Amino acid sequence: MVAFTGDFETHLTAGAGQVAALAAFAAEHGLTFLHIELDRGVTTSQPMLTLRGSGGLADRLDVAHQWCRRLREAGITPTRVKIEASPWTDGVPQHDEAAADQPAYRYFEHHLKLRLPPGMADLIALTDLVEPHGARLSRNALKRSADGAEIRFVNQRCHRVGLASATSRLDRLVAALRDAGHDIVSVEQEYVVHDDNLRIDDGWLPREEPVDTSWTPSRR
């Protein structure tokens, strides 16, 4: 059993029809609310809460489950618990050999924030550019650029590889975007240590584990 210790960010996702309710819950409890929209897939609208904390993974899971209970008590159904660790967290696999036996719900994920000129043609060209790198687009539905520029995130996942290989894939993606003249505002790398509903992203990015039709949100 790998013990993860360090800095974590937890996302609690709710159903697409509960955007307003989740936003109100976040405001009431002083939590961060996000509404992410994927560029394709079975669940393109993903409202979520974000929690941050340090320590061990078990502690962060306990906190996540406590908030899930409070969400259900408020009539909001959590559909996913996803916990991300910084790359320097103790326990993050450094090399492919260490990652080979990790469960499918653990993977590296990279988010590149881009500033694009207005126009759907650029989005189509961008999609064609990043897809061979195992990446797709998303956006923050709550934010708009005052000057009409398009803000998009390029999201890349790397399964069953260590930090060295994941970073190499990220570097190639960054190089491809820069070679194409794109304005990269920021780059974020993280390791997902817990994701209890990968299929919420079906049709957007691939997952490696078989479909489990009996899945229900984790409860405690």
Equal CATH topology for 5-91+195-201 and 108-188: yes
The closest of 187, 165, 15 to 114, measured between CA atoms, is: 187
Residues in the chain: 220
Instruction: Quote the pLDDT of residue 169.
Output: 98
Instruction: Quote the pLDDT of residue 214.
Output: 37
Measured CA to CA, the distance from residue 128 to residue 150 in angstroms comes to: 17
Measured CA to CA, the distance from residue 200 to residue 196 in angstroms comes to: 10
First to last CA, the chain: 21
Let me know: does 37 contact 218? Beta carbons within 8 Å.
no
Instruction: Quote the pLDDT of residue 77.
Output: 98
Instruction: Quote the pLDDT of residue 1.
Output: 65
pTM: 0.90
Using alpha carbons only, give the angle 19, 148, 134 rounded to the nearest 5 degrees: 65
Measured CA to CA, the distance from residue 156 to residue 12 in angstroms comes to: 20
Let me know: does 45 contact 16? Beta carbons within 8 Å.
yes
Instruction: Quote the pLDDT of residue 118.
Output: 78
Let me know: does 77 contact 15? Beta carbons within 8 Å.
yes
Domain 108-188 CATH class label: alpha beta
Q: Tokens 């229900």 — which residue?
A: 216
> 5-91+195-201 maps to which CATH number?
3.30.70
Instruction: Quote the pLDDT of residue 210.
Output: 40
- 115-130 pLDDT, tens per residue? 988 776 788 999 999 9
Let me know: does 114 contact 130? Beta carbons within 8 Å.
no
Q: How far is CA 158 from CA 14, 74, 130, 178, in A?
A: 25, 36, 14, 20
Helix locations, 16-158, DSSP H: 19-29, 57-73, 96-99, 120-130
Instruction: Quote the pLDDT of residue 120.
Output: 64
Instruction: Quote the pLDDT of residue 179.
Output: 98
What are the sequence ranges of the domains in the chain? 5-91+195-201, 108-188
pLDDT lower than 70: segments of the chain: 1, 120, 209-220
Tell me the chain's radius of gyration from C-alpha atoms. Answer: 17
Helix locations, 10-56, DSSP H: 19-29
Let me know: does 184 contact 113? Beta carbons within 8 Å.
yes
